[in-house]
Each structure stands twice: as structure tokens, then as C-alpha cells.
Amino acid sequence: MQRNILAPLLIAFLGSAVYAQEPIAIGISIAQSPPGSVVQGMQVKDGVEIMKDMINAKGGVLGRPIKLIYEDNQGIPEKGRSATEKLIVKDKVVAITGGHQSSVCLAEIEVAHRYNVPYVNTNCWSDDVRKKGYVQVFNPGNYNTRVSTAMAETISAMGVKRVVAFAENTDYGIGQAKLMGELIKVKAPQVDYKYETLDRAGKDFTPAILALRANPPDMVVNVMLPPAAYILMNQLYEQGVAPSPKTWMYDGAGLADYPDFWQNVKNAGKYMLSFGLYHPQMPMPKLGQEVSAEYTKRTKGEPNRLIFQAADSLFLIVEAIRQGKSTDPATLIKTLQTMKYDGVRGPFQFSSQPGITFQQWVDIPYVNYQLTEVNQPVSKTNLIQGPGQPLNVGKLQKPVK
């Protein structure tokens, strides 16, 4: 008789013990195949994998390990929408992160909004992501207004007179190019600015570039992601347009710290000025230093801003689970809205102001630096402007011929 009483109790105990160790599933939607930016997707994956391993090595959260479930969105909005739906409905994830292309994020957040599941935006810059005002969407990464403001201020400080931007035909590219024009009118009204939209799947941009050869501008601005951005840079260099003694090359897409940057651009990258969200000379908290060291240990390379952004995105979700003592998506959303956070890149709290800064890290730090040698790592680049510092125009270099 005793056996019959104890058996169900033992089964119940063992069942609860197994359940207590059940992993917490978090969805990761990234581009793992073309036409999406696969290099970005790889960097995001590296960042979240490092953070997952660090968290699990310390016992996970609420006594449970973290499990990441990946979906390939191919950089296509419709693929992103179906990936997000699968992660929420079939895989039962408690939150989603990893988004790194704005047009895809804009599709995915509609699904997260419908199912009321938190969506942590890793790298989608379009202001429209924030303007939606969805309480499910949190933005610890960069945004178009931040980068366009910084670049307009740089253009003003450099005293250039004529600027041409090439933007990819996406929400990110067109949005940033338009906004940059509006801000240049305010911050540098003497500048003649125009932008041209190029197909992100294009292979030959020489017709647009040849139009600049006869009358080169003072600056060419890139607002395109790889692989199209690399093609554009090489063709600008081959045609002698930029970088040149006459024309600056200014990148606003954060290309210079991608692991495949130099192998794709070679001499076309020398003398390029870059807006950046990370430079080894920037101050970094202990957690960020640990992520950096682990990335270098695993890859033998220097980390870039996407590694830190991705690690922060996952750690943010885990910290919300810890602070809210729950994996319930609705509880996570409420916790994320108000919690104070000390992460990989430092402390911040999300803004509740409607508009472009809704649930955004408003004062995300940035830098400007210049590449002065082929195959130069970011740590050796010429830092022209550190976080919160004025631009040092006197440090800029141009090719002699």
C-alpha cells in the first residue's frame, strides 16, 4: 500500500525537477542566405551564441538554461514574417531578437505585436520601426536619426560644399538618405546635397558613378549594406571618383568593422571615413570586455559593433526574465519598459517618448574614424571623433594622387 502512495509522489517530484530544468526558448531571426546581408547575420549569431554560453555557464536564469532557436529570414520581409510566426506559434519562444535589416524588422514586428510577444531589435535603424509605437518592440541599437544627425554634423565640420549619397532601395537606405538631406539643410545649409537610389541586388553601378567623373563632388556617402556596398566602393575607386584627392568617401552603414570588409574592397577602403558604433578606444564595461575577449578567443579576430549589439539584445531579454521573475511574454514587456539595465555596452533605460525614440536607447554612443592603410584593423584606425567629443578635422588624411 505504501508503494502505491509513494509512486505517484515520486513521479510528481521527478516531473517537476525535469520541468525546472526545461530550457527557455528565445527566437533568433537573421539572414543566413542571400539576398539578405549574410555577413551581418553571421555576426549577430556569433554575438548571441557567446552571450548564451556565458549565461548558461553561470546557471542560466531562474534555474533554467537558455535555448536559441534560429530561423533564416533571407533578408526578405515575407520570410521574416513567416519566421516570426513559426517561432511564436510552433516553437513557443518567450521573446524574439536578432533583427538586423529594417525592411524585415518592419514585417516581423507586426507579428510580434499581434501575438503580444517582446521583440528586441538588434540592428534595424529605420525610424519607422520606432514610430509604430508598439509596446512589444525594444530598441537597444542604433537608429537613422542618430546616425544622420551625426553625419550631418560631420559634413558641416568638414566644410564640404557638394555631397552625393548612394542609398540602397530599402526602408533603411532611403529613410537615412532622405533624413540626412533634411538635417544637412539645418546644420550645413551651404551644402549642395542629393542622393541616388540603387538596387541592393545590383551588380553594376557604373552608370551612376560615371555621371560623377566629369564633375566630382567633395564627398560621396554610402548608405548601402554588403554585398552591394562593396561593389559600389570598388567601382567608385576603379573610376577614380572616391576616395581621391578631390573627393572624400564617407560610410554611414558601419562597414569597416565587418570581418570580410578588406577582402572585398582592398584599396577602395583606404582613406574612407566611417561612422561607427564601436572602436577599441571607446570605454567598455567589464561585461563588454568579457564578450570581446571571448569573441577574439573563438575567432582570432577583433569584435565589431554587431557582436556587442547582439550580445546585449539577448542579455537584455535574460535580465528582464530575471528581474520580472517570469518568462510570460506580457510580464517581460512590462519589465523591459521600466527596468534599468547595465549591459554589454553600458547602462541605459528605454525612453517612453512617442516617435523616433520610443522604447529606444536614445544616447547610444558613436565615433568617427578613418582607415589609412589597406587591411588595417579598427584598433589601428585614425580616431577622428570619440564619444561625446568634437570632430578633429585636422587628423583627416587624403590620398596624394
The pLDDT tens digits along the chain (401 residues) read 344 444 444 444 444 444 458 999 999 999 999 999 999 999 999 999 999 999 999 999 999 999 999 999 999 999 999 999 999 999 999 999 999 999 999 999 999 999 999 999 999 999 999 999 999 999 999 999 999 999 999 999 999 999 999 999 999 999 999 999 999 999 999 999 999 999 999 999 999 999 999 999 999 999 999 999 999 999 999 999 999 999 999 999 999 989 999 999 999 999 999 999 999 989 899 999 999 999 999 999 999 999 999 999 999 999 999 999 999 999 999 999 999 999 999 999 999 999 999 999 999 999 999 999 999 999 999 999 998 889 999 999 999 87
Distance between terminal CA atoms of the chain? Answer: 95
Do you find a cis peptide bond into 227, omega within 30 degrees of 0? yes
pTM of the model: 0.86
Phi, psi of 29 (to 5 degrees): -105, 115
| C-alpha–C-alpha distance, residues 231 and 236, integer Å | 9
What is the enclosing helix (H) or strand (E) of 26? strand 24-30
Secondary structure of residue 285 in the 3-state scheme: coil
Residue 278 · residue 305 · CB < 8 Å: yes
Sequence-distant (6+) residues with CB within 8 A of 143 are 125, 126, 127, 129, 130, 356, 357, 360, 364
Domain 7-142+284-348 sits in CATH 3.40.228.10: no
The pLDDT score that the predictor gives to residue 11 is 44
Nearest to 102 by CA among 169, 32, 180: 169
Which residues make Cβ contacts (< 8 Å) with residue 15, sequence separation at least 6? none
Q: What is the pLDDT of residue 388?
A: 85
- Rounded Cα distance between 222 and 226, Å, is 11
Measure the CA angle with vertex 145, ends 151 and 175; round to 5°. Answer: 95
Handedness of CA 92, 311, 385, 244 (dihedral sign): negative
With CA atoms as reference, report the closest residue to 46 among 11, 70, 73.
70
Q: Other CB atoms closer than 10 Å to residue 178's CB: what's the count?
A: 16
Half-sphere exposure of 279 (CA within 13 A, CB side): 21
Residue type, 103: S
Residue 4 burial class via C-beta count within 10 angstroms: exposed 0-12, middle 13-18, buried 19 and up: exposed
* CATH placement of domain 145-276+371-395: 3.40.50.2300
Contact 125, 147 (CB under 8 A): yes
Which residue type does 38 have?
V
User: Is-same-fold flag (7-142+284-348; 145-276+371-395)?
Assistant: yes
Q: Are 395 and 382 in contact (CB under 8 A)?
A: yes
Q: How many helices (H) and strands (E) does the chain have?
A: 13, 14
Determine contact, residues 28/108, Cβ cutoff 8 Å. no
**Could you tell me the residue ranges of all domains in the chain?**
7-142+284-348, 145-276+371-395
